[in-house]
Amino acid sequence: MNWAAIGATAELIAAVLVLPTLVYLAIQFRQNTKAIKSATYQAINDSMSKNLDDMINNEYLLPFFLKAQEDYSSLSKEEKARFHFLNMALLRRFEAVHMQRTLGMIPESMTEGFERSFLSYFANSPSKILWPKIRLGFGTEFAEYVDKCLEKEINAIHTAFD
């Protein structure tokens, strides 16, 4: 057997093995993508659940939160600042959800529940009063998104009463 025949045989074997290699890589890529999306969703879920854990486990936070919800104007200057920062933290978590979805890291169907929960709270609480004051602390895209959501919520309320 001469070197040309050996070279041709090697090229043939290499060509035949390329297809299974590409299939294998495609399967690995798909599995990796699923794993990344799953990890992203879990991180978001953990972050959003922290809001609930804080309310449940912090003996001070829940009564303070309820007081702010019931009568924001009765809060002291310090309490209003605390409520401001609480809302900033809640919004930061929601901004992370929105950005992960915008970046395509997780599909919209995986974040709809987070969005509805957050917006139902935000649109029907004194937090909405704070939004114009804290809006500049967020990226333009997210701020416009929240504005649209609040506008949609307001229109839905008006429609319900028409």
Specify the DSSP element, H or E, that contains 82: helix 77-102
Model pLDDT for residues 52-110, shown as the tens digit of each residue: 888 888 888 888 888 988 889 999 999 999 998 888 888 888 888 888 888 888 888 87
Spell 31-69 as b/e; 16+ CB within 10 A means b: eeeeeebeebbeebeeebeebeeeeeeeeeeeebbeebe
The three-point CA angle 101-98-30 to 5° equals 15
**pLDDT tens-digit readout, 27-64:** 888 888 888 878 877 887 787 788 788 888 888 888 88
CA 144, CA 84: separation in Å to the nearest integer? Answer: 19
Which of 102-111, 121-130, 142-151 is predicted with the least confidence, judged by mean pLDDT? Answer: 121-130
The Cα 125–Cα 70 span in angstroms is 9
- Residue listed under structure tokens 């416009």: 144
**What is residue 158's predicted lDDT score, i.e. its pLDDT?**
44
Question: Which helix (H) or strand (E) covers residue 121, if one does?
Answer: helix 112-123
Predicted confidence (pLDDT) at residue 128 exceeds the cutoff of 90: no
